Every structure is written in C-alpha cells, then in structure tokens.
Structure 1
C-alpha cells in the first residue's frame, strides 16, 4: 500500500515522502497516529499543493535571510565599550543578549539571541568575530572591537584608602 507521510518518521522518511508499507502497518500504527494518509489521486494533488506552498514560503524566508545577512556583513566592525581593569580583563562578560541588542539597533532587523555565536567568551579587551546564523544556508559575520573604559568607582576607592593616612 502506498502512503504519504504527514509527519517525520525516523525509520521510514520525512513529511511528504511517498512510501510503500504493509496494510497492517498503516492500519495499526501510521493511520491512528495521523502519521500518514493513503496515497490517492486527491491526496497526491493535495500533497503537491502543500509542497508548492512550503517551497514558496521557504524561498521568501531565504530571500529575507539573505537581506539580513547582507546588512550584517555591511557593518564590518562594531565597537563596544565596557568596564575593564588595568590588565584589560572586563568586569563582566559581554553576552549574546547584549550583542543581539546592538545588532538589532544597527541593522533594524529582528535577530534572535540563539542565532548569535562567538568562538569564545568575550571577557577581555580586543577584537572578536561574531557569527550570526539566519538559516542552515545563510549566515553572516561581523568583527567586534571591545574597548575599555575605566570604572569611576575605582578612583574613589583609591582616594578613600589614602585619605585616612594623612600624617
């Protein structure tokens, strides 16, 4: 019996595949779980319409992703300032949440935090490469320069420590 899978089945195939299965396997397993429908003339036509819609939607998303990637690649360099000590070590780590916020401000596009990636933690002053993955086929990268700003509270702490030692 030929059936059209309506869901991904590990042992058989993926959604939309037309496969040959035994009558009992369809009747007892695939059919009751809505994992497949019998391949009739009507269901094959419906499958083709569904595939066409999926392809059109995927192409539109691909074009949007390409536009986003082009905009991110055009940035080339993003500069962030963060509090750092004398050795260049930051007082905190620059997170993907902060990077996402900066990228959204610069590009104007909605970028999800889970799509932003760096090779290693950004916890020192220097240059880093930030990777943004929009889909399996489309990604972009931008350079990030982290510069230090001296924390204001350090100066006050040093002054207070020496203030009591006047002799």
Structure 2
C-alpha cells in the first residue's frame, strides 16, 4: 500500500515522502496513529504541488543569499573595544557583536548563528570571518578590531 507520511517515521522516511509499506503495517500502525495517509491521486497531486512550492522558495532564498554574499564579500566592519597592553582585549568580540556591526554598517539583519567563529576574537587587529548565508553560500568579511 502506498502512503504519504504526515510525520518523520524512523527507518521509513520523512514528512511528505510517498512510501510503499505492507498493508497491515499501514492499517494497524501508521494510519491509526495518524503518521500517514493513504496515497490517493488527489493527495499525490497536493504533495507534488507542495514540493514545487518548497523548491521555488528555496531557490529564491538561495538567489537572495548569493546576491548578499556578492555584496558583502571582501567588505570590512570596524568594532571598537577596550584593550590593554599588547593588544589584548578586556573581554572578547563575539558573533553577536559582529552581527550588530554588520547591521549598523550595512543595515542588514544577519542572524548571529550564521557568523562562523572558531572562538571569540580576543586581540586587536584584522580578522577574517566567514558568514554562512545559505547551506552552500558563504562569504568572508574582514573584522577590524580597534582600541577605544
């Protein structure tokens, strides 16, 4: 029997997948627990329509991310922080600080989780930081940390 999964089912598939299962497994387990619905022609068309819609949304988001990466690539942001002798900072510059600097300079809201730092910046100077804007779209910006 062909069914459309309504939720992720371990070792069977993800939500929206159309899978072939034994009739008893579908009738006695999947359908009563509302983990799946029987695959009718109308439901299959609906699943296909949703897939196309999701694919177009992802393509649009990737295109926007590529344009943003092109705009930001090679740009620099300046962050001022208090520093002591030898260029060591009192504290550190985190990805949240970098996101705030990007927002201030470019008027863009970049989620701090998209800024990849191995560890917070703890020294004055210029640092290269990677932004992961989409699953396979990244760009590098320079972060200039200067003393107050």
Say yes or no: TM over 0.5: yes
Q: C-alpha displacement at 1:141, in angstroms? A: 1.5
In structure 1, the residue matched to 2:69 is 69
Q: Is the 8 A contact 1:96 1:113 kept in 2?
A: yes
Change in CA separation of 1:34 and 1:72 when aligned onto 2, cut-off 3 Å:
farther
Tell me the number of residue pairs that the alignment of Structure 1 and Structure 2 aligns: 148
- Normalised TM-score (structure 1): 0.79
SS of alignment partner, residue 81 of structure 2: strand
Structure 1 residue runs of 4 or more that deviate by more than 3 Å after TM superposition: none
Q: C-alpha displacement at 1:51, in angstroms? A: 1.0
Query: Tell me, which stretches of 5 or more residues in structure 2 are unaligned?
Result: none
Q: C-alpha displacement at 1:19, in angstroms? A: 1.2
Separation (CA, whole Å) in 2 of partners of 1:85 and 1:18: 62
Q: Name the larger-Rg structure.
A: 1
Change in CA separation of 1:106 and 1:71 when aligned onto 2, cut-off 3 Å:
farther
Query: In the TM superposition, what whole-angstrom CA distance separates every residue of 1:84-127 from its partner, at most 9, and x where no partner exists?
Result: 11121101111211110111222222211111121222111122
- Normalised TM-score (structure 2): 0.88
In structure 2, the residue matched to 1:54 is 54
Query: Tell me, which stretches of 5 or more residues in structure 1 are unaligned?
Result: 150-167
SS of alignment partner, residue 34 of structure 1: coil
* RMSD between superposed Cα atoms in Å: 1.7
Separation (CA, whole Å) in 1 of partners of 2:30 and 2:8: 11
Query: In the TM superposition, what whole-angstrom CA distance separates every residue of 1:7-27 from its partner, at most 9, and x where no partner exists?
Result: 222311223322111122222
- Note if 1:129 corresponds to 2:124: no
SS of alignment partner, residue 7 of structure 2: coil
Change in CA separation of 1:80 and 1:18 when aligned onto 2, cut-off 3 Å:
same
Separation (CA, whole Å) in 1 of partners of 2:43 and 2:132: 36
- Note if 1:42 corresponds to 2:60: no
Q: Is the 8 A contact 2:74 2:142 kept in 1?
A: no
For 1:17-166, list aligned pairs within 5 A.
Answer: 17-75=17-75, 77-149=76-148
